[in-house]
Structure 1
Amino acid sequence: MRSLLVALFVACVSACGFVGFPGVYRIDVEQGNIVTQEMADQLKPGMSRRQVRFILGTPLVEDTFNQDRWDYTYVKRNGLDVLSKWHLSVTFDGDKLVGVGGDYQPAAWSDQPPAPQPAAASETAG
């Protein structure tokens, strides 16, 4: 009988973790880089990496395999709900800015065609 009560108590206590208690406050969590349209409008074709980093800050993701692309991502959550999310990618050719893509389109890039995406390396069997 005692082991049954202990098992019932453990089951009840562990079930409390799965029930969302009403009125529990969940803070807003902001992750990533905050980039505004005004910051994106400062980007001009041919800018150096240093100039882009000065304007936008350190990128959230610098791809190890493609060092010519920087990604800036921002997510704001309230608990499990995503309140806002956006993404901005900048592409370089060497040290020169050649492309900007994502949720913000800089004014200097509106009249230019989109930047070419790097071709994926084709696998050859051999």
Structure 2
Amino acid sequence: MIFPRFAYPVMVLCTLAACSTVPRIVNEYRIDVQQGNVLSQEMVSQLRPGLTKDQVRFILGTPVLTDMFHANRWDYFYWLKKGNSGEIETRRFTVFFDADGKLRNVAGDVAPVQSTDAAVVFEARNREIDLGSLPADGSTVLPPPDGPGFFGTIMESMGF
């Protein structure tokens, strides 16, 4: 078979184009990959020596690593890889307990609060939320009952 004159240069150009790289302008979207426990400074500030393991778990969440050889040590890890830039952020926070299961000390990237007066820190973070007022006699006031809904109205009109 005889190829036209321009077929060979076109095939060479297509082959060379396949070997080139894609310009940085045209790229796929990459999501942020986040793993581990997100610990904020506010969460760590709630920790006090003497808290039980359940209280620490309530504040910080379930630890990523609980070692069977070090039962009094919990490790919290956080790893974030930014999709667009590829930079990686890692954090590590370790909680140590004494033999009675009470919080002894912490170590890691997030620092605990350095206030000596725990009441001042608690009051600064405490806020009051009004959930509604109750009558003085203790009786509960119920809302009026709702009428039949959409399907209830249809069923009543059909005679059911």
CA contact (8 A) 1:32 1:75 kept: yes
Matching of residues 7-18 of structure 1 within 5 Å: none
Aligned with 2:102 (options 96, 99, 107): 96
Q: Deviations over 1:85-121 (max 9, x none)?
A: 21110000121100100011111588xxxxxxxxxxx
Q: Is 1:63 the equivalent of 2:34?
A: no
Larger Rg: 2
What does the per-residue CA deviation read over 1:35-61, in whole Å, with 9 as the maximum and x for residues that have no partner? 100000000001100000000000011
Q: Matched residues, percent identical?
A: 45
State how 1:1-126 maps to structure 2 within 5 Å.
22=24, 23-79=27-83, 81-94=86-99, 95-108=101-114
Larger relative contact order (Cα-Cα within 8 Å, sequence gap ≥ 6): 1
* Distance change (3 Å), C-alpha of 1:25 and 1:41: same
Structure 1: gaps (5+ residues): 1-15, 111-126
Give the SS at the match of 2:29.
coil
Q: Which runs of 4+ in 1 moved over 6 A?
A: none
Secondary structure, counterpart of 2:56 in structure 1 = helix
TM superposition score normalised by structure 1: 0.65
Q: Which structure carries more strand by proportion?
A: 1
Distance in 2 (CA, whole Å) between partners of 1:109 and 1:69 is 24
- Contiguous gaps of at least 5 residues in structure 2: 1-18, 117-160
Q: Decide whether aligned partners of structure 1 residues 107 and 60 sit closer, same or farther in structure 2, where only a CA change above 3 A counts.
A: same
TM-score normalized by structure 2? Answer: 0.52
RMSD: 2.7
